[in-house]
Amino acid sequence: MTDLIVVGGGLAGCEAAWQAAHRGLKVSLYEMRPGVSTEVHTTGDLAELVCSNSLGAVQRNTPAGLLKHELQLLNSFVIQCAEENALPAGKALAVDRERFSAMVTERLSNHPNITIIRQEIKKIPESPVIISTGPLTSASLSLEISHFLGEEFVFFYDAIAPIVTLESIDLSKAFRGSRYEQDNGSEGDYLNCPLTESQYFDFLNELLNAEQIEMRKIDSNVREGVNAGRKRYFEACLPIEVLAARDPKALTYGPLRPVGLRNPNDNSHPYAVLQLRQDNLANTLYNLVGFQTNLKFAEQERVFRMIPALAHAEFMRFGQMHRNTFIASPKFLLPTLQYKNRNDLFFAGQVAGIEGYTGNIASGLIAGINASRVLRGDEPLTFPADTMIGALHQYISSADIEHFQPMKAIFGLLPPLEHRPQSRKDKGFAYSKRALRSLRNFISENHLNGDLV
């Protein structure tokens, strides 16, 4: 017997399945991998992280950090797995991606109320279902959803950054450090690769003239929809060559910004710095932070090796672009993540227009909770607008459809503070204090942590 179908074994789908199963539902979790893979996945594990291995900031005075604190209060399964597989990453939550995915897969496989089915879903089930197929929804299901909604999907292209081996990095030309922490005696969790001004502009020149991979044609069966003709890239994940083309110094304010870093080798402040973040627990792999790209693989080796510390870098994964698919959520979804014309059909995660790992986990949590409530005959919950989880999902269900783009956690989504602090840091803490107080009350009023079986 199956009470609920969850389609897609990414972060949102895994969280949704766990939340629903822990509330007593019999859940069938469908994941098409490894039988049917995608452009960027490499394993058959659930919750595989294909872009960065970082789930973002942990400080509660930051938007991503606040959302993590909210998810902790709500007993998020995926966040717990992430914390158990954390790597050193300064003020961010980064994980050993293989161990993290393996843990999620194992725990879901062993849950008595969850059955994992390795099969591609090509039609929207008529029974209660959560669609959480992510940015790489298969062509068959994409076409089916497009026909079902009566609207085409909208698209943008997303990108992933390269990974290099630690042993191939020239550590004599790099230094460890996290921004602003060196003077406190902290060695820091990042490897920093400094560039002088002349090295930077030499690198920039080659980057701008490097050959790029031709953007693959979107599946001919799924046409560009309401977002056709607009930006092809999500602003928060621009390829470095696109960012660099905007202004010669753009990278020094983005992924190569040197702010808060001092080279202890010569006590200098570099003109530009590329940060490398540990990618696995064995400390053998490092990813190039913010260096998502669409350059040809040979060009990535040639150009990125112009950074002195990476002169002999061994690339274990090259950067690449992939299609990111999402629906016009403001037209179709409620803040409960229900389809407006069918209360037992939910969309969650990136396919619903949620951006960022932590946001996707939050989306799956809401869908799993609300699906279990609907099937029990209870009213689904709309989370408070002054919480980050509530504001994010109210945004994707009410934004201006003509300008709708995927959204991540930002303080701009929250209602204004009654008394607005002057500093950004204090403002973040004020938002956080109000949000966590509101969420605790909401949890208590709705017995959210008392309905687990």
The third-level CATH classification (topology) of the domain covering 4-151+327-445 is: FAD/NAD(P)-binding domain (3.50.50)
Residue 372 to residues 19, 22, 28, 218, 360: CA-CA distances in angstroms? 8, 9, 13, 36, 18
Q: Which among 92, 62, 57, 69 has a CA at the least distance from the CA of 430?
A: 62
Residue 40 identity (one-letter amino acid): V
Q: Round the average pLDDT of the chain to a whole number and report it.
A: 89
pLDDT tens digit sequence for 88-118: 998 999 999 999 999 999 999 999 999 999 9
Measured distance CA(93)–CA(119) in Å, rounded: 32
Name which of 281, 201, 295 is nearest 242 in CA terms.
295
- The boundaries of every CATH 3.50.50.60 domain in the chain are 4-151+327-445
Look up residue 378 and give its DSSP letter: P
- Please, are residues 363 and 12 in contact by the beta-carbon 8 Å criterion? yes
Task: Give the range among 31-45, 237-251, 278-292, 351-365 with minimum mean pLDDT.
Answer: 31-45
- Cβ–Cβ contacts within 10 Å for residue 402, how many? 10
Q: For residue range 143-175, what is the model confidence (pLDDT) as tens digits?
A: 899 889 886 666 666 777 899 999 999 999 999
The per-residue pLDDT for range 350-392, each reduced to its tens digit, is: 999 998 999 999 999 999 999 999 999 999 999 999 999 999 9
Residue with tokens 């605790």: 440
Share of the chain above pLDDT 90, in %: 66
Residue 177 identity? G
